[in-house]
A = this chain, B = another copy of it.
Amino acid sequence: MEDNRVLTTALAQHLGQRVQVMGWLHRLRAMGGVNFLVLRDRAGIVQAVASHEAIAPLHGLLAESVLAINGIVVQEPQAPGGYELHDPHIEVITPVHEPTPFSLYKDRVRATLPVFLDHAVIGHRALERRAVLRLAAGVMAGFRATLAQRDFTEIQTPKLVASATESGANVFPVEYFGRTAYLAQSPQFYKQIMVGVFERVYEVGPVFRAEPHATTRHLNEYVSLDCEFGFIRDHFDVMAVLADVVRGILDYLKAHHAAELSLLNVTMPLLPAKIPHIFFPEAQQMLHDKFGVKNALGEPDLAPEHERILGEWAQKTYQSDFLFVTGYPMVKRPFYTHPNADDPRYSNSFDLLFRGLELVTGGQRLHKYEDYLAAAARFRYNVEAFKHYFEAFKFGMPPHGGFAIGMERFVTQLLGLDNLRQATLFPRDIHRLEP
């Protein structure tokens, strides 16, 4: 069917010729004697100007009918894309007889979020919505391209695991041939193990968090962009690679998704040559001294409101939409976190804030077998459950670290969306398991 087909974005090359386009009836406007018909394909949209007779095949049909239109390409500055089809012959490939639950042709989808999500199956066809999802694809491609260039190897680790990855809580149990398996909360253990094989690894895949809350910033299944590598000095080496990755993703979007960025009016983030960083206790001190935040000091973590203030500060002070907060207290970090050599209350870990929201968590991990045994004892973990993970350390691991970027969260912050669900294909939360 594709043989004689021309995409709507390639019409300039066929000016004056009769061509065939195929796609969905985006909109039909009958203006008395003359009718304007907009067709949408994977590339864009084109308007056809049709007589009453020409649209006869569309009698009784509604938007989203699948059509092939044969017409002559005419330049028309007023038309979307700058070209129009004249003297169209319309062939109906698949008719549609029911109205869509909300209009798909408008600049912005006008449906409440629950209604949109209930009908996301077709709602994603709106130009605005599919641009968001294409940018998500660009984020994944930019992530992979940046790391592949740096000699990282892709891995795909199991999502069915025998025990919880990070802690016993918030895991989904799976009935697995008469025993209980769990869905992996992250590829953390496996990506560390694979540093012993490839030194540098990355993974793009689903992770599962059974957190029983429904917020605008959390989902129970999301796509994690994971990275881990060896032979580092400390977490600053990890932050350097992460900065390269962020820059690599943004450059990829600019190079490959200019149309989507433009359609969505995206303001590209401020990203200076060096992303600024601030040590956790100094961030707290500043929140207290400079911003009059009452409850900042002494807490083991930053509240969302603190992150927001720090984000604004970095933007004003460093012209940066990104800010590293380094050295979070050990007490709030998982057991495999490497402590700061100078002050073991603090860790060699970091968060990367993007426009005042935590986008990435990362850091240096423990790499010595005896440190893992000690950490497991301190946390009173059952060492048997970790025996395979620990085996990697028994047999020699270099100093290493890594990070995980929430893919949908990156898109949400980049586009300034209110809710992570707007950047997620088919979101999963405590109330929603469909579509």
Partner of A122, one of B177, B196, B237: B196
Known contacts being A156-B425, A172-B175, A433-B161, is A395 close to B190, with CB within 8 Å? Answer: no
Known contacts being A124-B197, A199-B42, is A395 close to B64, with CB within 8 Å? Answer: yes
- Shortest Cβ distance from A428 into B: residue: B160
Q: Tell me whether A193 is interfacial, beta carbon within 8 Å.
A: yes
Please encode chain A, from 52 to 69, with 1 for each CB lying within 8 Å of some chain B CB and 0 for all others.
000000000000111000
* Chain A residues numbered 323-356 whose CB sits less than 8 Å from any CB in chain B: none
Q: Tell me whether A374 is interfacial, beta carbon within 8 Å.
A: no
- The docked-state distance in angstroms from the alpha carbon of A177 to that of B145 is 37
* Chain A residues numbered 186-229 whose CB sits less than 8 Å from any CB in chain B: 190, 193-194, 196-200, 204-206, 208, 210, 212, 220-221, 223
Known contacts being A392-B121, A398-B22, is A173 close to B174, with CB within 8 Å? Answer: yes
* Chain A residues numbered 122-161 whose CB sits less than 8 Å from any CB in chain B: 122, 124-125, 129-130, 133-134, 136-137, 140-141, 148, 151, 153-161
Q: Tell me whether A368 is interfacial, beta carbon within 8 Å.
A: yes
Count of chain copies: 2
Inter-subunit contact A434/B206 (CB<8 Å): no
Inter-chain contacts of A176 with B (CB < 8 A): 172, 433
- The docked-state distance in angstroms from the alpha carbon of A286 to that of B362 is 60
- Shortest Cβ distance from A221 into B: residue: B160
CB distance from A315 to the nearest CB of B (A): 30
Q: Tell me whether A1 is interfacial, beta carbon within 8 Å.
A: yes
Segment from A92-100, A262-270, A271-279 that makes contact with B: A92-100
Inter-chain contacts of A389 with B (CB < 8 A): 121, 435
- Shortest Cβ distance from A223 into B: residue: B156
- The docked-state distance in angstroms from the alpha carbon of A395 to that of B24 is 10
Inter-chain contacts of A388 with B (CB < 8 A): 121, 434-435
Inter-subunit contact A237/B1 (CB<8 Å): yes
Inter-subunit contact B96/A199 (CB<8 Å): no
Known contacts being A64-B396, A397-B94, is A140 close to B154, with CB within 8 Å? Answer: yes
Known contacts being A2-B231, A121-B193, is A206 close to B435, with CB within 8 Å? Answer: no
Inter-chain contacts of A396 with B (CB < 8 A): 24-25, 64-66, 94-96
- Shortest Cβ distance from A94 into B: residue: B396
Partner of A158, one of B122, B159, B221: B221
Inter-chain contacts of A212 with B (CB < 8 A): 177
Q: Tell me whether A300 is interfacial, beta carbon within 8 Å.
A: no
Inter-chain contacts of A43 with B (CB < 8 A): 151
Inter-subunit contact A133/B197 (CB<8 Å): yes
CB distance from A99 to the nearest CB of B (A): 9
CB distance from A94 to the nearest CB of B (A): 5
Inter-subunit contact A42/B93 (CB<8 Å): no
Inter-chain contacts of A64 with B (CB < 8 A): 395-396
CB distance from A186 to the nearest CB of B (A): 14
Partner of A367, one of B94, B398, B426: B94
5 A–B pairs (Cβ distance < 8 Å), ordered by A: A1-B237, A122-B196, A160-B172, A160-B428, A193-B435
Give residues in A with beta carbon < 8 Å to B: 1-2, 5, 22, 24-25, 41-43, 64-66, 93-96, 98, 100, 119, 121-122, 124-125, 129-130, 133-134, 136-137, 140-141, 148, 151, 153-162, 172-177, 179, 181, 183, 190, 193-194, 196-200, 204-206, 208, 210, 212, 220-221, 223, 231-233, 237, 367-368, 388-389, 391-392, 394-399, 407, 425-426, 428, 430, 433-435
In the complex, besides A133-B153, A137-B153, A141-B148, 14 extra interface pairs with C-beta distance below 8 angstroms are: A1-B232, A2-B237, A5-B231, A42-B153, A93-B398, A96-B395, A130-B198, A134-B198, A140-B154, A156-B204, A158-B221, A176-B433, A177-B430, A391-B435
